[in-house]
Amino acid sequence: MDKSPSILIIYTGGTIGMVNEPVTGTLVPIDFSHISDQVPELRRFGCRLETVTFDPVIDSSDVSPDTWGKIAGTIAKRYDEFDGFVVLHGTDTMAYSASALSFMLSGLEKPVIFTGAQLPIGVLRTDGKENLITSIEIAAARDNNTPKVPEVCVYFENRLLRGNRTTKYSAEHFNAFTSPNLPPLAEAGLQIRYNRNLIRYPTVRRPLTISAKFETGVGIMRLFPGLGRSLVHSMLATEGLRGLILESYGTGNAPTLSWFYDELRAFIVRGGIVLNVTQCPAGSVEMGLYETSEGLRSAGVISGKDLTTEAAVTKMMILLGSELSRERILSLLSKSICGEMS
């Protein structure tokens, strides 16, 4: 019996899967069943590789909760057949998808590694080959028959980041992603060095289950000087809006304007939920630290601590889509479910 690790590569779309069409020279998606033609190094891997390609492939900008459901469903359907999964995905919304999958896949005990590229895999200087090869190696890595990283992660430019701690910060450089409030789970140099004290390992074994129902009535409001009441009111009065991610200043601060708190309080009284995250690239919300955040807490706004916006949005969508009570949703929003906040 073949004891070598088995990895399923799920190609959803994105830059990594593009090559130049010989006749026209335009970029077209490749057939990932022949990926070893583009990356012959894969033939030297001591593991079994299989590929699944979405039909049609999806540009990163067109990713939706339906896409997340399809990725999660593919993993669940083949979960018992493979030791790990590599998801090839466009970079623009990769942090959203990795965050969503982390909340969707309950009972996960195998690696799910998202990766992609800034340059197509068919281009000479592509970063896609290294990203793909190392992602597969990490997905296949085991100690005593136990996966080294049984989490949803993003691998890009030598660093393995927890998926729900990741955000895209560069549209130009190969190191396109950062994890501002959590160090890398692994770093690839001459060797791949795993930061085992940061990696989450299951403490209770349970079957893999999927939470695939999303509430898309969620909005994001970023504070800025001059934000007016009419704009705030119209957004909070949007039909079907159930949750708001408030991107506040610094450690969770907002203008000390009575009308602003009145609008938030009225939305919350109507059943809405407001989650406060900082618009700073790094740091955490500490409501009550300054007087300018105490009003938010008094209005009923919840602290998102050091959640990324991507994790905040997807977490709220999942929780609001569940059948949990409002009190339980509020409780879970303020605590870590799968390592998304400190």
113 strand-pairing partners = 86, 153
Give me the catalytic one of 15, 67, 126, 309.
Answer: 15
The Cα–Cα gap between 38 and 67 comes to 26
The Cα–Cα gap between 319 and 130 comes to 36
Burial class, 171, CB count within 10 angstroms (exposed 0-12 / middle 13-18 / buried 19+): exposed
Of 43, 47, 45, give the one whose Cα is nearest residue 35: 43
The Cα–Cα gap between 223 and 221 comes to 6
Backbone angles phi, psi at 159, to 5 degrees: -130, 135
36 residue type, one letter: S
- 93 annotated active-site: no
156 strand-pairing partners = 159
Question: Which stretches of 190-290 are DSSP H helices?
Answer: 229-236, 258-269
**R_g of the chain, CA atoms, integer Å:** 21
Q: How do beta strands 152-156 and 159-162 pair?
A: antiparallel
The Cα–Cα gap between 53 and 10 comes to 6
Give the C-alpha distances (Å, rounded to integers) separating 222 from 186, 228, 303: 32, 12, 15
Q: What angle do CA 136, 141, 145 make, to 5 degrees?
A: 135
Of 311, 340, 335, give the one whose Cα is nearest residue 94: 311
The DSSP H or E segment spanning 87 is strand 84-88
The Cα–Cα gap between 116 and 105 comes to 21
Of 90, 92, 136, give the one whose Cα is nearest residue 113: 136
Task: List the catalytic residues.
Answer: 15
